[in-house]
């Protein structure tokens, strides 16, 4: 089964827009799990413009599926993850002023740093993933960091697929194959949606988890969270049930 982790950053954005606590991130996370989500993802940034660091602590005791915290491993983020001890930490090299994640790690240039961070998290029993472009040389280098998994950055796939270019999947297939051969698990995320998720899941081997937030929340405005969560789960695992 391919797991669906729902990123609740957009819920926090909506909450923060009114300066109150509605919608409540914890309540939404509880409901999403009841509706079938296999995990909850948050991506706190230093300015706390959507998810706040306190949200991580508030979610810690109610996420009974898998809790994934994404972010750039600056000292403040590392301290947060070590205090909360989620199921998984996903390392993302986003700049402080980035609107959203826009690139994967250069695991060759930053290998020493990543190895140090990955080692610390793994010593604390936290599964690690590194956010990566589908670049075979950098995926090969990721192995030396000791990471448990990679997370494929799928924005380029989504943009090309929307234009009808199905060959956009090829680098992701090759990347997943190499990662699996090297003993790393495969996650994916960014701009995956109901329009492209089934094709992606059918084509990319060894896929274990996808993290989806923006598209899922936007689609849920029309269709409702319960319907959308289960639509994703159906499309992710349709081929395995045939």
Cβ atoms of 93 and 138 within 8 Å: the answer is no
Annotated active-site residue in 66, 190, 209, 219: 190
Confidence at residue 103, expressed as pLDDT on a 0 to 100 scale: 82
Confidence at residue 240, expressed as pLDDT on a 0 to 100 scale: 58
Annotated active-site residue in 43, 151, 209, 219: 43
For 60-71, the pLDDT digits (tens) are: 999 999 999 999
Burial 156-166 (b: 16+ CB within 10 A, else e): bbbeebeeeee
For 1-46, the pLDDT digits (tens) are: 999 999 999 999 999 999 999 999 999 999 999 999 999 999 999 9
Residue ranges in 39-169 assigned as alpha helix (H): 53-60, 75-84, 111-123, 136-142, 155-162
216 closest CA partner among 5, 12, 22: 5
For 92-145, the pLDDT digits (tens) are: 998 666 555 668 999 999 999 999 999 999 999 999 999 999 999 999 999 999
Query: Is 43 designated active site?
Result: yes
Residue 143: CA count within 13 A, CB half-sphere: 14
Confidence at residue 96, expressed as pLDDT on a 0 to 100 scale: 60
For 49-90, the pLDDT digits (tens) are: 999 999 999 999 999 999 999 999 999 999 999 999 999 999
Confidence at residue 239, expressed as pLDDT on a 0 to 100 scale: 65
Query: Is 120 designated active site?
Result: no
Confidence at residue 101, expressed as pLDDT on a 0 to 100 scale: 62
What predicted TM-score, i.e. pTM, was given to this entire model? 0.92
Annotated active-site residue in 70, 151, 209, 219: 70
Average pLDDT of the chain, as a whole number: 95
Cα–Cα distance measured from residue 91 to residue 150, given in angstroms and rounded to the nearest whole number: 9
CATH of 3-241, picked from 3.40.50.720, 3.40.50.261, 3.20.20.70, 3.40.50.150, is 3.20.20.70
Residue 121: CA count within 13 A, CB half-sphere: 33
Cβ atoms of 105 and 137 within 8 Å: the answer is no
For 12-22, the pLDDT digits (tens) are: 999 999 999 99
For 135-192, the pLDDT digits (tens) are: 999 999 999 999 999 999 999 999 999 999 999 999 999 999 999 999 999 999 999 9
Cβ atoms of 3 and 36 within 8 Å: the answer is no
């Amino acid at each position: 089964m391919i797991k669906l982790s729902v990123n609740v950053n957009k819920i926090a954005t909506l909450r923060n827009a009114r300066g109150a606590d509605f919608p409540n991130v914890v309540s939404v996370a509880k409901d999403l799990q009841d509706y079938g989500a296999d995990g909850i993802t948050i991506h706190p940034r230093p300015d706390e413009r959507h998810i706040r660091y306190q949200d991580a602590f508030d979610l810690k005791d109610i996420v009974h599926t898998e809790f994934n915290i994404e972010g750039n491993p600056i000292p403040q983020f590392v301290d947060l993850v070590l205090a909360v001890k989620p199921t998984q930490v996903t390392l993302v090299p986003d700049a402080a002023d980035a609107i959203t994640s826009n690139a994967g790690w250069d695991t060759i240039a930053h290998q020493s740093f990543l190895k140090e961070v990955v080692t610390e998290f793994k010593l604390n029993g936290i599964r690690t993933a590194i956010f990566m472009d589908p670049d075979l040389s950098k995926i090969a280098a990721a192995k030396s960091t000791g990471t448990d998994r990679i997370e494929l950055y799928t924005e380029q796939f989504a943009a090309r697929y929307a234009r009808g270019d199905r060959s956009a999947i090829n680098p992701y297939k090759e990347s997943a194959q190499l990662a699996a051969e090297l003993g790393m698990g495969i996650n994916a995320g960014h701009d995956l949606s109901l329009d492209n998720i089934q094709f992606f899941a059918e084509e990319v081997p060894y896929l274990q988890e996808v993290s989806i937030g923006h598209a899922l929340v936007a689609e849920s405005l029309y269709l409702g969270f319960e319907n959308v969560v289960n639509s994703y789960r159906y499309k992710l695992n349709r081929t395995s049930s045939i």
